[in-house]
Amino acid sequence: MIQRQKGCHDIYGREAKVWKYIDQVIDALMEKYNYTYMRTPIFEATELFHRGVGETTDIVTKESYDFEDKGGRKITLRPEGTAGIVRAYIENKMYGDPNQPVKVYYNGTMYRYERPQSGRDRELTQFGMEILGSDDPFSDAEIISAAVNLYKMLGLKEIKVNLNSLGDNASREAYRKALVEYFKPHIKDFCEDCQERLEKNPLRILDCKVDQENEILKNAPKTLDYLNEESRDRFEKVQEFLDIMQIDYSINPNIVRGLDYYNHTVFEIEAKVEGFGSNNVLGGGGRYNGLVNQLDGPETPCVGFATGIGRLAMAIELEQVKLPIVEDIDLFLLYVNDDEKKYAAYLAQELRLAGFIVDTEYTGRGLKAQFKQADRLNAKFTCVLNSEDLNNNEVHIKNNQTKEEDIISLDVLIYYLDEKINAGMAEDFMEGECECGHHHGEEHECCGHGHCHHEEE
C-alpha cells in the first residue's frame, strides 16, 4: 500500500469542516480590514529563500525542500509565505499601485523538512497578512490587533501576545555583539545547545529552557537597552496604539524570531490551552523593513504576521469551541422499489434547488438500514416514498424528533418544509433577519440560506 508522506495529513470529515470554517472566518476578517487575497506559487527559485529568509536560518539550511526541475532550475518548496509575497510585490511593481500601502493576505501550504511532532508537520498551512509600504507604528499595531481578533473570533479564550523590539539593523547588531561578549566568559556553565548558540544565534540563549535559572542569564543585557532613540520611540508608539485598541500584550525581551529579515517590532502569540503540546505558539510576525530592498526592490517598509492553521485547529478542538458547523441535513428520502427510486431522484432535485439539504439512499439497503442512515446523518425529516402517495401526488413526511407524520401535497411541500425547518426549528430566523443580514423572504444566495423564512401575513 502506498502511504502518505511523512509529516503530511489527510484532512476530512469534521476536521475538514473546522479548517474550512477557519478559512471563512479569515476571509471575513480580512474583508473588514480591507486586505486583498493573494496567491503566489508554492515553489520558487531556491535563491529567493536564501536571500530573503536568510542563509543562516534553520529553515533554509536544514529544512528546505529543494530539487532541480527538468530544465536544471534550482527550485524550493516555499517554507514560509512572506518571501513569495515580496517577490511578487516587486515583480508586479505593486509599489507603483496608486492604492498605498499594499495590504494583502495569503492562506496556503508551506513545506519544511522536519521531524514531525505535536503541532509540527512537513506540510503546514499558514495564513498570513502583510502591509507593504507603511512605516507607521499604527500599521504594526493593526497587524497585531487583526491577529488577536482572529483568535478571538474563533473562540480562543486565553491567548498571550509577547511583544519585543529588535530595533533597527544598527541596534540589532550592537545588541548581538554585546550579548556574545557578555556570555563568552561564562559559556562553559551553559548547556551544550547554548554553547552552539553563542556564535550562531546568541539571542536564543535567552529563552533556553535548560539554563532558565542561571543567574548569568537572568542578568544578561536586554534588547530594549540597546535601542536607539528612534527605535525606542517607535516601539512606544506601537504600544500606544495597542493600548488604544485595547489589545493585551506583554513585553518579552526574549522574543526573537527565526527569520533573518525582521527588525523593530517582533511578536509571538501563544495559546494557553490545556493539553497543548510544546509547540503552543500559534503565530508570529513583525516588521521587515529591509527585505524588499534586499530582494532588488525599492526601499519599502513592511510589517506582517503569519499563523499556522493546523495549530489553530488543534487549539480550537482542545478548547472545545462550539463552531457553527452544519452537521445535520434537512431531509432523508427512503425508498424500496425502482419507481420510488425515480420519485426520490425527482424530489431530491426539486428540494435541493429550493435550498434544502437533502440526502437519500444509494447502496440498495433495506428500509431499516435506511432509517439508521437517516439517524446517522441527523436528518430533521424523513420521507418514505411509496407508490400510493406517488399516485395521489403527495408524500408522508415525518419529523424525526417529534415522530409526527404529516401527509403533504407536493404542491405545498416546499412551503411546508420551509415553515418547519426555517421558522419552526431554527431560532436564528425568528428575528426577521437572516444571519447574512437579508430580510426573510428576500431572495438571496449569499449565506447558503436561500430559503430564508418567508414573510407570513
Partner RNA sequence: GCGCCGUUGGUGAAGUGGUUAACACGCUAGUUUGUGGCACUAGUAUGCGUGAGUUCGAUUCUCACACGACGCCCCA
Q: Give residues 72-101 in contact with RNA (rule: CB under 7 A).
A: 80
For RNA, the closer CB: 4 or 188: 4
Asked if 114 touches RNA (CB under 7 A), the answer is yes
Amino acid, single-letter form, for residue 46: T
Given the rule CB under 7 A, which of 138-146, 173-181, 319-327, 398-406 is the region that contacts RNA? 398-406
Q: How far apart are the C-alpha atoms of 248 and 243, rounded to whole Å?
A: 7
Out of 251, 317, 386, 442, point to the residue binding RNA (CB under 7 A).
386
CB atoms within 10 A of CB 263: 23
Window 129 to 168, contacts with RNA (CB under 7 A)? none
Window 6 to 35, contacts with RNA (CB under 7 A)? 6-8
Out of 57, 76, 107, 360, point to the residue binding RNA (CB under 7 A).
57
Q: How far is the CB of 441 from RNA (least distance, A)?
A: 31
Window 281 to 320, contacts with RNA (CB under 7 A)? 281-284, 306-308, 310-311
Asked if 425 touches RNA (CB under 7 A), the answer is no
Out of 26, 30, 38, 59, point to the residue binding RNA (CB under 7 A).
59
Q: How far is the CB of 399 from RNA (least distance, A)?
A: 9
For RNA, the closer CB: 396 or 438: 396
Q: How far is the CB of 42 from RNA (least distance, A)?
A: 16
Asked if 398 touches RNA (CB under 7 A), the answer is yes
Number of residues that bind RNA (CB under 7 A): 71
Q: How far is the CB of 367 from RNA (least distance, A)?
A: 5
Asked if 391 touches RNA (CB under 7 A), the answer is no
Asked if 4 touches RNA (CB under 7 A), the answer is yes
Q: How far apart are the C-alpha atoms of 23 and 82, rounded to whole Å?
A: 19
Q: How far is the CB of 173 from RNA (least distance, A)?
A: 18
Given the rule CB under 7 A, which of 108-116, 425-433, 435-443, 445-453 is the region that contacts RNA? 108-116
Asked if 193 touches RNA (CB under 7 A), the answer is yes
For RNA, the closer CB: 32 or 209: 209
Out of 88, 208, 329, 354, point to the residue binding RNA (CB under 7 A).
208
For RNA, the closer CB: 121 or 135: 121
Given the rule CB under 7 A, which of 10-18, 224-232, 274-282, 322-330 is the region that contacts RNA? 274-282
Q: How far apart are the C-alpha atoms of 390 and 69, rounded to whole Å?
A: 62
CA proximity to 41, closest of 105, 87, 95, 102: 87
Out of 372, 409, 431, 441, point to the residue binding RNA (CB under 7 A).
372
Asked if 374 touches RNA (CB under 7 A), the answer is yes
For RNA, the closer CB: 5 or 219: 5
Window 237 to 256, contacts with RNA (CB under 7 A)? 256
Out of 46, 145, 373, 422, point to the residue binding RNA (CB under 7 A).
373
406: β partners: 397
